[in-house]
Amino acid sequence: MLQYLAKRLLGLIPTLLLVGILVFMLVHLLPGDPARLAAGPDATPETVALVRKDLGLDLPLPQQFLRFVKGAVTGDFGRSMRTKRPVSSEIASRFAPTFWLTVWAMAWSVTIGMAIGIASAVWRNRWPDRVGMTFAVSGISFPAFALGMVLMQIFAVKLAWLPAVGADSWRHYILPSLTLGAAVAAIMARFTRSSFVDILQEDFIRTARAKGLGEPTVVAKHGLRNALIPVVTMMGLQFGFLLGGSIVVEVVFNWPGMGRLLIDAVDMRDYPVIQALVLLFSLEFILINLVVDVLYGVINPTIRYR
């Protein structure tokens, strides 16, 4: 198990490095001179030269990259062009709301999605299946921003049961996490169903039934564990979808998280902030996938020894 973990960790290094290079190149792929951008529109050539030296933009590219990596590892991403505050302190307060939003969305959507998928597979082609799959195909077809607007209109404005914007209490989390998780619940339901349908046709399921086990035991003990293997992989991929989706949902609910900060930064062309956020989002996604991979190894022993 440890060896497996070490192998997965080492495998991350090239990907991380390439992601780092891409994010680093972001500034250099931009049209225009980053030093000029940072100095402001009415800076004199002397000021621009000073800013260029200050930001290290006069160094050769490889050296600049090393500086960037060193900064990134120590959490130093320079200063925001807009507020002039260090990027790390801009982001610090924004991390937790986004993190918890995605975690809650993931928790409910995986539980509900899998429950619907299992019910649909067990009662295949009967009404629970039809209802479940209608919900699922609608869920993947309704855009999150539209769903957010609808939920907000109904539950926050018309009924006034829940707050519409902000992230102060657990009640603030309900609508955004429902919005964010809906598509994932739908995808998990579809995926769990097809995985379960395949498993329920296996010989060992017939054997389990033949030896007189009750249907709940067959489904829970013999079906679930085997059907879960592809479902867990899917979960890792869906987390990426959630992290990306949180950007849209945060804008709808005016959520004080990293997603809204990113959109503001893109609007303002605040490149240090964009760089840091893109890197952080990707890092979070890569780490979550690592966790999923390890989980996968726990569920499926044959993977570990390859």
Pick the binder of another protein from 95, 135, 145, 155 (CB under 8 A): 145
Contact stretch for another protein (CB under 8 A) within 82-90, 150-158, 168-176, 208-216 = 150-158
Q: Hey, which residues does 79 pair with through a beta bridge?
A: 86
| Least distance CB 4 / another protein (angstroms) | 19
CB 244 within 8 A of CB 256: no
Contact stretch for another protein (CB under 8 A) within 61-69, 114-122, 134-142, 207-215 = 134-142
Give the span between the Cα atoms of 205 and 222, in whole angstroms.
7
The answer to whether 290 contacts another protein (rule: CB under 8 A) is: no
The answer to whether 137 contacts another protein (rule: CB under 8 A) is: yes
The answer to whether 163 contacts another protein (rule: CB under 8 A) is: no
The answer to whether 241 contacts another protein (rule: CB under 8 A) is: yes
Give the span between the Cα atoms of 107 and 120, in whole angstroms.
20
The answer to whether 157 contacts another protein (rule: CB under 8 A) is: yes
The answer to whether 105 contacts another protein (rule: CB under 8 A) is: no
| Least distance CB 158 / another protein (angstroms) | 10
CB 279 within 8 A of CB 23: yes
Interface mask (CB under 8 A) for another protein, residues 29-68, using x and -?
A: xxx-------------------------------------
Give the span between the Cα atoms of 288 and 99, in whole angstroms.
12
Pick the binder of another protein from 282, 292, 293, 297 (CB under 8 A): 282
Interface mask (CB under 8 A) for another protein, residues 248-267, using x and -?
A: x--x----------xx--xx
Shorter beta-carbon distance to another protein: residue 217 or 276: 276
| Least distance CB 86 / another protein (angstroms) | 21
The answer to whether 285 contacts another protein (rule: CB under 8 A) is: yes
Residues in touch with another protein (CB under 8 A): 14-15, 18-19, 22, 26, 29-31, 137-138, 140-146, 149-150, 152-153, 157, 201, 239-245, 247-248, 251, 262-263, 266-267, 269, 274, 278, 281-282, 284-286
